[in-house]
Structure 1
């Protein structure tokens, strides 16, 4: 109770700024430094050679696994351990965020929602990639985008099934847990506390979530994805729901890329072309229907739980 009262005395903007600053240091500095030492046994050279390769890792095939490990430790430290401490300091026990029941019906609905929404989002992906910015900004944005694209291509050109599984952990499992802890578990909750408007909280946290990736030619589709995760959390009151959705989105992409490289499927998931409008419209209807069913499912569960225990603390149902 004292922690909760203490949190109420700290302005939401302060909590958000502390969170973003601590996450940045943990993800960009401390975590990768720790990961560097764990990655040394997986590099076919000396410490000095690996340090030199970090200046231009894409030219060294032996840097792929070390880069994955450094990124993984960055995510683990900066996006999971640091946010857990902040949650404990400003809110409540981290366990409270994960104590809600996971219903298989909800998981199946989320899987369908995420996959179908990919078709809808393809329109925004294609549109956003063709947006023009003022010349100075556009030059910088394109250079940044190309750098990230080259790094992604390097990391996701899998030489073995083991590398693909490592990528699933680093690209899907850890970010799903970490990014949802930060953007839904902390930032969305703080924005709601500050504005008392859940829709404002969801969309601003989604915009921050997208902006933090520094990929301007993917800003809108990623923001829409963040908003989707935000509403899944709001309607369910269960942080596992956006985590599962996030994992399915990233994990599906990684596995699809691997299968395409193996020649097992013909669909190139990296293709930025929009799906046919007929498919997009149909998918939009299906997505809307599934979201409505998901929302009603949790409204019914909430009603049942409340009637079973009128003294239940339902604060967790409002992110």
Structure 2
């Protein structure tokens, strides 16, 4: 029996299907989070809506917000993961058309991200201090208010008073977003933008812009856009979604571990992981050089086809 969909579905239609599936997954996951929060922690619908505004005043707020964030992102990623099945394709062929012959690909991507962090942190500091033109003053005030609110929630969620909390944070704030966001933005959005415009570069840059804009953090747009570019090219070059997932997870997890070490007084007291500190220029220069070298090396490695097996001598 033939499927209802044509063999080649237009990229625009696939993107529209992604939106529908993602909204459905997000809605179902949020409903599940509400039910679990009510049954496990006794949180009512009204209290559920007030948690983000005043989490410190609500009992079990940390656990409930982590539950909501984890399930919501999982629902979003599930929507993207279901898309190939709707298109009657294999998810492994859709998201990872090029199989990984060894673990060096994800490992190399993880090392690249660690090398890139000092350079990105400098751009974070610059972007946080950007001011809009005078005619956008009201918008800037609104955007900074949104940014401050998001920062307050992030600081609350990353209060890792125990190793168990850090473990939950690594799962909810590092692993789940790495899987879900890469499936959505690289696996579906970038893939279809590349097909639509018949250009790798246009697809990668547009997907990175969408990836950064969706986070609604205007004073962090540029560094997240640059991160999206790196993740996008890692996916294009490797042809396997596990590579940008590994890089994304490393970026998130590295920051969480630094926060935990600072909170547990295992780092110098002068180190503040939440502050936008300008790093010494030699550190930034080394970061830029190492990152460029790793990017070039990974690009060359993936561009080289695997060697054919030797023909036995008769």
Secondary structure class of the residue paired with 1:6: coil
For 1:177 and 1:81, locate their aligned partners in 2 and report how far apart those are by CA, in whole Å.
10
Distance 1:213 1:192, change over 3 A: same
For 2:52 and 2:66, locate their aligned partners in 1 and report how far apart those are by CA, in whole Å.
16
Task: Report the alpha carbon displacement of residue 162 of structure 1 after superposing the two structures with TM.
Answer: 1.3
Aligned residues: 301
Distance 1:9 1:47, change over 3 A: closer
Task: Report the alpha carbon displacement of residue 175 of structure 1 after superposing the two structures with TM.
Answer: 0.6
For 1:111 and 1:195, locate their aligned partners in 2 and report how far apart those are by CA, in whole Å.
29
**Which residue in 1 is equivalent to 2:104?**
105
Which runs of 5 or more structure 2 residues have no equivalent in the other structure?
none
Q: Structure 1-normalised TM-score?
A: 0.86
Contact 2:34 2:45 in 1 (8 A): no
Q: CA RMSD in A?
A: 2.4
Q: Structure 2-normalised TM-score?
A: 0.88
Task: Report the alpha carbon displacement of residue 280 of structure 1 after superposing the two structures with TM.
Answer: 1.1
Matched, 1:291 2:288: no
For 1:91 and 1:219, locate their aligned partners in 2 and report how far apart those are by CA, in whole Å.
36
Task: Report the alpha carbon displacement of residue 81 of structure 1 after superposing the two structures with TM.
Answer: 1.3
Structure 1 stretches of 4+ with a deviation exceeding 6 A read: 2-5
Task: Report the alpha carbon displacement of residue 272 of structure 1 after superposing the two structures with TM.
Answer: 1.3
For 2:46 and 2:162, locate their aligned partners in 1 and report how far apart those are by CA, in whole Å.
24
Q: Once the two structures are superposed, what CA deviation does each residue of 1:186-240 show, in whole Å capped at 9, x if it has no partner?
A: 0111001111110110011001001111000100000100110011111111110
**Which residue in 2 is equivalent to 1:316?**
none
**Which residue in 2 is equivalent to 1:6?**
6
Q: Once the two structures are superposed, what CA deviation does each residue of 1:71-108 show, in whole Å capped at 9, x if it has no partner?
A: 11111112x21111123224721122357226232233
Q: Which of 202, 205, 208 is the equivalent residue of 1:203?
A: 205
For 1:165 and 1:150, locate their aligned partners in 2 and report how far apart those are by CA, in whole Å.
21
Distance 1:281 1:85, change over 3 A: same
Contact 2:259 2:273 in 1 (8 A): yes
**Which residue in 1 is equivalent to 2:16?**
17
Further displaced range: 269-278 or 113-122: 269-278
For 2:52 and 2:247, locate their aligned partners in 1 and report how far apart those are by CA, in whole Å.
35
More helix by share: 1
Which runs of 5 or more structure 1 residues have no equivalent in the other structure?
310-319
